[in-house]
Amino acid sequence: MNTRRYLLFITYFFCLFALLACDEASTTDEDEKEEEIDDYEPKTPVTQSRSEKRGVSFAFQFTDDVKLLGKGASWSYNWGPDQTASFDAVIGETNMDFCPMAWNGIDANRLRAYKTRHPECKYLLAFNEPNLTDQANMTPRQAADRWPAVKSIADELGLEIISPAMNYGTLSGYGDPITWLDEFFQLIPISDISGISIHSYMPDGGATKSYIERFRKYNKPVWLTEFCAWDGVNAGNFKLEGQMNYMVDIINYMESDPNVFRYAWFIPRGGNKVEDFPYMYLLTKSSKVELTPLGKVFVNMSSQDKNTYYVEEQIIEAEHYSSVCIAESVGKSGWTNGPFIRPTTDAGDETLELYGFVTNEWVEYQVEIDRNKALDLEVRYASLNDSELDVMIDGVSETTLTLTSTGQTSIWATANTKIHPAPGKHTLRLKINKGNICMNWLKIGIKH
C-alpha cells in the first residue's frame, strides 16, 4: 500500500468512526430528552377557591338547592331572622354562611335561637328597602326610632350590622337612596354599621357600576344584596343571553372591586317559568333540581382567586381566569368591556366557554412552571374569522398565536405555540390583537 492510499484509508476510517460516534451521541441525547419527558410527573391539578363574595337572596326550598348553589355561592339570606332548621345539615356540609335580617323590625327571640344553633353567624342585615312604600316603608326618623332594638340585639349576640338595603324608591321625598341614608346617618352614628347594603335592577354593567360607586362616600364596604337585569328592559327584545351577559359583566366587575364585599343574586327560583322574562332563575322547577344555563354560569364562573397557580400539563378552564380586562375600570370613570361566558358548544364538554372575546380584551391566569425548557401553550378555540392572540408573561410579550378561522363558533380547533417561561410563578395574559374568538381551555406543557 503506497503512502497516498494509506492516508486515504486512515482518513476514511476516522471519518467513519466520528460519524458513528456522533450518531450514537445524538441517539443518546434524544433518548435522554425522551427519558426526561417521561420522567416528569405533573403535579396534582388545582382549582380556584369559591368566591367569598358570591351569594343568593333566596329562601331555599330543597336541600339540593343548597348543594347546587353552594358549589359557587358562599352565603345567602332570605329576608328573615333565621334559616329553617331542616337546612342546617346541608348548609354545614357546603359551608354556606347565612345572614339574618331585620326586615322592618327585629324578632329578637328567633334571632337568639338561630345564633344559638349557629354561633358562627356574624352579620345582621337591617331594614329592607325602607324608601319603598311596598317594602319596609319607613322614613329615616321612623327607622332611627326602631334602631335601638336592632343595635341592642346585635351587641348582645356579637353581630355586625349592615345598613338598611337601599334602592331607588317610591317613598315621597326619598326616591334617591342617598337622600334617605344621609338623613339616617344624621340620626344614628355611621359607626353602628359595618357595610352599606344596596339593591339594583339596572340592565347595564356600566350603569350598575356607577350606582355602586355613589355609595363610596360612606367609606364602608358595599353589599349588593339584590341584583339582576330587569328595570327598563324591553321584554320583547330581551332574552336569556342578555341576562347572562349582564350577570357576567357585573360579577366580573364586583369580583375585581375590593370595595364590594358581598353580592347576592335575585333570585334562584320564583313563581314564573324558567323560560319567562326576565330569565333570572338559577335553578329548575322540576322534581329533580338542576342548575339552569344561567345557574351554571353563576356557579362556575371565575372567583378571580389570586392564590391559585395552575400547574404544568393541567387543562385550565378558560372561565377560571385570575383577572379580566373589566378590572381596568375599577376606581375610574366609565366602563371597560370584557368577554362573555356561556355553556360551551365544544362537543363532549359540559363546562363554560368565553365568547365575544374581541380586540384589546384580555384575561389572565396564574401558572407555576417546574421545567426549565421550551413549553407548548395550547389554546382550544372557535372563531368565524382569522384572529390573533398576544401571549404575555409577567407583562412582557412572549409571542403571537395565530388562530385560523374554524368557520363557525361551534366548530372547535386547538392551536399551539412555544413559550419559554423560567421555572417559578408567573402571570400569563392572553390578549386579542385582532379578531373575535370563543375559548374553552388552555394548557401549558409538552405536546406529544
State the Cα–Cα distance between residues 187 and 185, nearest whole angstrom.
5
The predicted structure's pLDDT at residue 448: 81
Same domain? 349 vs 393: yes
Q: Considering the domain boundaries, does residue 36 fall inside one?
A: no
Same domain? 111 vs 260: yes
The predicted structure's pLDDT at residue 287: 80
Q: What is the mean pLDDT of residues 414-425?
A: 98
How many CA atoms are closer than 13 Å to the CA of 400, on its beta-carbon side? 7
The radius of gyration of the chain's CA atoms, rounded to the nearest angstrom, is 29
Same domain? 335 vs 232: no
pLDDT above 70 (res 18): no
Q: Identify the band that residue 28 occupies on the pLDDT scale cut at 50, 70 and 90.
A: very low
Last residue of a domain, one of 277, 300, 323: 300
Q: Considering the domain boundaries, does residue 437 fall inside one?
A: yes
Report the mean per-residue pLDDT for the chain: 94
What percent of the chain lies above the pLDDT cut of 90?
Answer: 90
Same domain? 243 vs 386: no
Last residue of a domain, one of 300, 331, 360: 300
pLDDT above 60 (res 3): no
Q: Considering the domain boundaries, does residue 166 fall inside one?
A: yes
Last residue of a domain, one of 232, 267, 300: 300
C-alpha cell at 406: 374554524
List the CATH number of the domain containing 332.
2.60.120.260
List the CATH number of the domain containing 163.
3.20.20.80
The predicted structure's pLDDT at residue 38: 55
Same domain? 224 vs 318: no
Q: Considering the domain boundaries, does residue 382 fall inside one?
A: yes
The predicted structure's pLDDT at residue 25: 45
Phi-psi region of 281 (alpha: psi -120 to 50; beta: other; left: phi over 0): beta
Residue-by-residue DSSP string for 395-410:
TEEEEEEEE---SSTT
The predicted structure's pLDDT at residue 20: 44
Same domain? 211 vs 280: yes
- 23 vs 174, higher pLDDT: 174
C-alpha cell at 248: 357576567
Q: Considering the domain boundaries, does residue 175 fall inside one?
A: yes
Same domain? 376 vs 264: no
Same domain? 328 vs 265: no
Same domain? 96 vs 244: yes
Domain containing 246 equals 54-300
Q: Considering the domain boundaries, does residue 16 fall inside one?
A: no
pLDDT, tens only, 160-188? 999 999 999 999 999 999 999 999 999 99
The predicted structure's pLDDT at residue 24: 46
pLDDT, tens only, 221-278? 999 999 999 999 999 999 999 999 999 999 999 999 999 999 999 999 999 999 999 9
State the Cα–Cα distance between residues 157 and 163, nearest whole angstrom.
17
pLDDT, tens only, 29-74? 444 444 445 589 999 999 999 999 999 999 999 999 999 999 999 9
User: What is the residue type of 398?
Assistant: E
Q: How many CB atoms lie within 10 A of CB 331?
A: 12
Same domain? 296 vs 408: no
* Residues sharing a CB contact under 8 Å with residue 241, sequence separation 6 or more, in sequence order: 342
Number of domains comprising the chain: 2
Q: What is the mean pLDDT of residues 323-333?
A: 98
Q: Considering the domain boundaries, does residue 366 fall inside one?
A: yes
User: What is the residue type of 399?
Assistant: T
Q: Are the C-beta atoms of residues 50 and 303 closer than 8 Å to each other?
A: yes
State the Cα–Cα distance between residues 204 and 229, nearest whole angstrom.
7
Same domain? 226 vs 348: no
Q: What is the mean pLDDT of residues 88-116?
A: 98
Cα angle: 43, vertex 45, 50; to 5 degrees: 140
pLDDT, tens only, 355-376? 999 999 999 999 999 999 999 9
Q: Considering the domain boundaries, does residue 29 fall inside one?
A: no
Same domain? 429 vs 362: yes
